[in-house]
Amino acid sequence: MKATFGAGCFWHVEDMLSKTKGVKSTKVGYIGGQLPNPTYEEVCTDKTGHAEAVEVEYDPNEISYEELIDVFWNNHNPTTLNRQGPDVGIQYRSAIFYHNDEQKEIAEKSKQTLEKSGQYENPIVTEIVPTPTFYEAEEYHQKYFKKHGLS
């Protein structure tokens, strides 16, 4: 099964998800913009509309989509629009890209539950949208933390 998330810089998100039990593989890339086959440099201009994202292959017998969503919520700030920490721009937006109606329903319910929980003072700005074309990022971005001894 596939899941796709945007939660700021894809290096951190990929590293965190790759260590999650039940996740079989991860790829970082660009999603949700207007330019086909964008490069990192183009996405960083903040003009292509893409988000940095991680595409996850997971085993639903080991981890549920609900559990993956929980990992997503608990590892970034879903209340900052187009920003995570020092990273600012539309490419760093919080987003859940669903692959089917079941994922959409789970994501929307999860967001509503989190909003009602009072965990955050500010509103959750995470977008929940259908998965458009995922463009795999350049090889030097794949498994970046692991390649550089940061994982």
Considering the chain, what is the average pLDDT of its residues?
Answer: 96
The token duo for 38 is 């964008």
Q: Which residues are catalytically annotated?
A: 9
Half-sphere exposure at residue 4, Cβ-oriented, CA atoms within 13 angstroms: 25
Q: Is 48 helix (H, G, I), strand (E, B) or coil?
A: coil
Task: Say what percent of the chain tops pLDDT 90.
Answer: 97
Amino acid identity at 142 = Q
Residue 35 scores a pLDDT above 90: yes
pLDDT in tens, 58-78: 999 999 999 999 999 999 999
Q: Is 27 helix (H, G, I), strand (E, B) or coil?
A: strand
The total number of residues written for the chain in this structure: 151
The token duo for 2 is 């596939």
The predicted model gives 21-44 an average pLDDT of 97
The pLDDT of residue 151: 83
The predicted model gives 25-35 an average pLDDT of 97
Segments making up each domain of the chain, as ranges: 2-147
Kindly tell me the sign of the dihedral angle through the C-alpha atoms of 21, 27, 30, 35.
Answer: negative
pLDDT in tens, 106-140: 999 999 999 999 999 999 999 999 999 999 999 99
**pTM of the shown model:** 0.96
Residue 98 scores a pLDDT above 90: yes
CATH of 2-147, one of 3.40.109.10, 3.40.50.620, 3.30.1060.10, 3.40.50.300: 3.30.1060.10
The pLDDT of residue 78: 97
